[in-house]
Amino acid sequence: MNWEKKGQIFLPNNQFDWVKTHGMLPVTDHVKDDIFRVYFSGRDAANISRTGFIEIDIKDPSKILHLSESPILDIGKLGSFDDNGVSPTWMVNHEGKKYFYFMGWNKGSKVRAAEVSGLAISTDKGKTFERYSKAPIIDRTDSEPYTILVISCIIIENGIWRMWYDSADYWISEELPRYNIKYAESTDGIHWKREGVVSVTYKNDKETRVSRASVIKDGNIYRMWFCYAIESGGYNMGYAESADGYKFNR
Residue range 74-89, pLDDT digits in tens: 999 999 999 999 999 9
Hey, what domains does the chain have and what are their CATH numbers?
78-242 (2.115.10.20)
Question: 216: pLDDT confidence band, cut at 50, 70 and 90?
Answer: very high
- Would the pLDDT of 1 be above 80? no
What pLDDT does residue 21 have? 97
What is the value of pTM for the model shown? Answer: 0.95
Mean residue pLDDT of the chain comes to 96
Task: Count the Cβ atoms, other than its own, within 10 Å of residue 90.
Answer: 24
d(CA 166, CA 213) in angstroms, rounded, equals: 8
Displacement of CA 232 from its chain's centroid (Å)? 20
Question: 108: pLDDT confidence band, cut at 50, 70 and 90?
Answer: confident
Report pLDDT digits (tens) over 113-170. 999 999 999 999 999 999 999 999 999 999 999 999 999 999 999 999 999 999 999 9
Which is higher by pLDDT, 108 or 102? 102
- Would the pLDDT of 214 be above 90? yes
- Would the pLDDT of 13 be above 80? yes
Report pLDDT digits (tens) over 48-63. 999 999 999 999 998 8
Distances in Å between the Cα of 218 and the Cα atoms of 196, 206, 212, 222 are 25, 31, 19, 6
